[in-house]
Chain A
Amino acid sequence: MDSIFLHSNPDPAPAGDGPLRGLKVALQPNLAAAGWPAGAGSRALAGYLAPEDATIVRRLRQAGAMLPGYTRMSEFGWGLQGSEAGRALREHAADAELVLDLAGESRVAAARAGACGFKPSYGLVSRFGLIGLMPSLEVCGVLAGTPAKIRGILQAVAGQDEHDFSMADEPVPDFAPPKTKARRPSLGIVTEALDLMSGEQAQAFRDLQGSLARSGFIVREVSCPDFPLFALVHRIIGSVEASSSTGRYDSVRYGPRAPGARNWNEMYLQSRGAAFGPLLKRLLFQGAFFQFERYEAYENACRIRARLLAAMQRLSAQADVLALPAGDGEPGGNPATPADIWAGFSPTLFANVTGQPALILPPAPDGARPAIQLAAARLQDARLLAAGEELLDAFQGDS
């Protein structure tokens, strides 16, 4: 079996002595750590050494975290094929993992690994030094055993960054542990998300819903009839953004060059052709199609996105947190297609489209209870993590 880390940090001891002292946080090679081979899972970046730390990495070091190394990831983090997200946690080589969440990868990987997976609000953590693919959809997610550990990491890394102007000038949620126990949060079950599940999965979720109600949670059903449109919007906007963001991998300044080209133009074209894997290429073809041939579809997707955002805000007003099934991600086995990814991640895509925070709690180890996904309005990250803790407490009480 392969080593857990694609790149092991020879010197994982922290420089700082802070609140994360001794916590081992594994990174994906799409987060720049000075001098590390930040290949982002792509041949396009083979041999590329990050020139400086990403803001998240710098803040982790300052907070005293240990950084054991880079884990294996899918090409640019899209989908989980080729990814080993969650393995370092499972094999106790890390206490937490940072995993890019473009479609739900950090949340689904956590559920698979029996851990909690959290996608923060968009704009809450810096993108400086993140080698991204879909800049308006993706955010660095956190995998850890408990919401409390996730809270500690967010406390260390969240907030304004002078290197990232795209972060809105807005208050950062207070991630300090809640001092008093609030009343049990009300849960809004998004019914349309259940329609995406198989009968068996939907039934398991209904059972969980019942047991939560019995545990004293106020559970009500809420409705977002447009929920199936999230996949469509994600597909168009995500593929267009991916097509744009990968344009920089031209092999001129770094990355492998195709040999044998007779002039720069040939070198350029051949290198780009050789750089990307088949799954990513299919995604990029889709993006280029919408960009060059169906621009109006892209504009429509942007308009629908605004409508979906408003719809989810209305739902958030109807309950403290929203509850949805977790989904399985794309099916195992090769090769996956872009369509497999959008289908497999259909219950998690909404949070990437709206930028709201989402948390997946793992299934019961014996499989008696499915994973559950919670979501809250943007910047309600601390409240969402607190609600997650309450649910986990209730599950403990049940078993």
Chain B
Amino acid sequence: MDFEAVIGLEIHVELNCPTKLFCDCPNRPGDEPNLNTCPTCLWLPGAQPRLSQAALEKAALVCLALDAELQPLSAFDQKVYYYPDLPKGYQLSQAHQPLARGGGIELTAESGSPRMLRIHHIHMEEDVARLVHEMEGRRPISLVDFNRAGAPLVEIVTEPDFRSPREAMEFVKALRTRIRYAGASDCSLETGTLRVDANISVRPRGSAEMNTKVEIKNMNSIRHVGDAIAHEIERQVAAVQTGETVVLHTRLWDPEKKATVPMRAKFAGPCVPDPSVPAIELTADWRALMRARLPEMPAARAGRLATQHGLTADESQALSADPEIAGYFEALVGGDVAPRPAMHWLLTQLLPALKERRLELGASPVAPHRLAGLLRMLARDEINANAAREVLIEMFSTGDAPEVIVAARGYQQVSDPNALEALIDQALAANPAAVADVRNGQGKAMGFLIGQVMQASGGKANPKIIRDQLNRKIDAAG
């Protein structure tokens, strides 16, 4: 029998607000354990939550970036369960009245036709503490770090619209790009500021039934999302074919074993309205203000880059996939660099060099105005492309301005034909066989001669001038 998968995603995004959701503690989970805590996020007796305005605004931007509709009235509920990572026995979350409903992302299906993947709702909630289980000698000990407790999260719950691992991966990529554009989170699966859980069930293709689903967690890269879903679909199809019953539960993805392993029965605790956090009323004016504050989204930016700079759709989309990259590109162009060299140097030189050094573009030691300076020198023929690559490498290590490096290293390109004449004559005299090959129309030999002159010039000669001069002299001699 032919099966199809029914997949829905639950995506947690940690907002990059300066403080936690209900108190003024710094939102820095990675600090020394339990440094960023107060009576409220430890939920000491008598504590009262105070909803962060900044978190509400960032959450609203996430909703708008995903085309979800902000609800005029939303409220927090207590999601009750008992676990040491939850300092008050319930998590404040929006179960009954979420911040936004609807929305979604339209992707291009493998067939090439557009495919809408819908969002059911988006709600705010607080993160829980981090548990560390260690050994103290031979005694097992459990430690709780409350730095993360109360960190602001939004959870995006999709409709079960996904049918393949690819759709899930593409959706997560597009969602990540949009949220980064909104400036609300860095959305890193690796560090856990983006967490993707998938609910998966299988059914005979063409059937409309919804079978028992299994939740999978612990995928910390986009590739793991795809691998884990693909594996879980296979596992369930095999189970159904052997007559096994699928039960509702949660499984963890083990990237080493490339398999999901059972974790626990899926949690479904009660949610009761919370009387301590007032309901959130979003006026039409406030919603309009947030819409006005939403930065340009990736599709709009790609369209703009294509028209403004004459790029193809693929090129402009590649540049727009990350707001940092698009911003860097626009800074280069703003620094009088032609669009195509700007794109080329950014995508093929700067980004690989950063990746090699495990750096993000935002932390690049080469600022856009410095790279623009280098590329302007290249465009004016003051240096050649080889020298420019050398200078870029040196800019990484020294942080110096390109002009300084070019002057210090003597990378200035020699374009004066008179200054090159002696070197060219020398090369012609020393390589009569190659000259003969050129006359016989062998292009390779020309390259060889250019290389000889370049070497003799210490790499500074302008290759275009060398070629022109070589051609002139060989033609004149013949």
Contacts and interface: CB of A to CB of B under 8 A. Distances in A.
B281 to A, nearest CB: 11
A51 B44 CA distance: 9
A268 to B, nearest CB: 6
A291 B272 CA distance: 8
A135 B275 contact: yes
B450 to A, nearest CB: 73
Nearest to A243: B80
B440 interface: no
Contacts of B140: 263
B88 interface: yes
A195 interface: no
A240 interface: yes
Given A135-B275, A165-B49, A247-B80, A52 B39 contact: yes
Given A128-B48, A165-B51, A268-B82, A51 B39 contact: yes
A268 B45 contact: no
A295 interface: yes
A40 B45 contact: yes
Interface string A22-60: 000000000010000010100001001011101000000
A244 B90 contact: yes
Contact of B45 (A45, A247, A292): A45
Contacts of B51: 165
A250 B84 CA distance: 8
Interface residues of B, number: 29
A285 interface: no
A130 B47 CA distance: 8
A291 B89 CA distance: 13
B272 A240 contact: yes
A254 B80 CA distance: 20
A291 B270 contact: yes
B102 interface: no
Interface in B36-57: 39, 42-46, 48-51
Interface centre among A32, A54, A165 (most CB of B within 10 A): A165
Contacts of A292: 269-270
Contact of A131 (B45, B82, B88, B272): B45
Given A165-B278, A166-B276, A298-B272, A38 B45 contact: yes
Interface residues of A, number: 41
Interface string A217-253: 0000000000000000000000011011011101011
Nearest to A254: B44
A136 B278 CA distance: 11
Contact of A250 (B50, B82, B275, B276): B82
B270 A247 contact: no
A128 B46 contact: yes
Contact of B88 (A127, A130, A166, A248): A248
A17 interface: no
Contact of A295 (B46, B87, B270): B270
A172 to B, nearest CB: 17
B341 interface: no
B397 interface: no
B142 A264 contact: yes
B144 interface: yes
A247 B48 contact: no
A246 B89 contact: yes
A166 B39 CA distance: 17
A190 B286 CA distance: 45
B445 interface: no
Contact of B48 (A50, A52, A127, A298): A127
Contacts of A247: 80, 82, 88-90
B252 interface: no
B84 A129 contact: no
Contact of A244 (B48, B144, B272): B272
A302 interface: yes
Interface centre among A136, A166, A241, A268 (most CB of B within 10 A): A166
A163 interface: yes
B423 interface: no
Contact of A302 (B39, B269, B273): B273
B46 A250 contact: no
Interface string B70-88: 0000000010101010011
A235 to B, nearest CB: 15
Given A248-B87, A252-B87, A268-B84, A164 B48 contact: yes
A253 B42 contact: yes
A54 B45 CA distance: 11
Given A40-B45, A263-B140, A165 B82 contact: no
B272 to A, nearest CB: 6
B297 to A, nearest CB: 32
A50 B46 contact: yes
Interface string B224-236: 0000000000000
A244 B89 contact: yes
A371 B80 CA distance: 41
A362 B43 CA distance: 38
Contacts of A241: 272, 275
A43 B50 CA distance: 28
14 contacts: A40-B45, A127-B276, A131-B46, A163-B48, A165-B49, A244-B89, A244-B272, A246-B89, A247-B88, A248-B45, A250-B84, A253-B87, A264-B84, A302-B273
Interface of A: 32, 38, 40, 45, 48, 50-52, 54, 127-131, 135-136, 163-166, 168, 240-241, 243-244, 246-248, 250, 252-254, 263-264, 268, 272, 291-292, 295, 298, 302
Listed from nearest, the 3 A-B pairs whose CB atoms lie closest are A247-B89, A136-B275, A248-B88
Interface of B: 39, 42-46, 48-51, 78, 80, 82, 84, 87-90, 140, 142, 144, 269-270, 272-273, 275-278
Given A244-B78, A292-B269, 5 more contacts: A54-B46, A128-B46, A241-B272, A247-B82, A254-B44
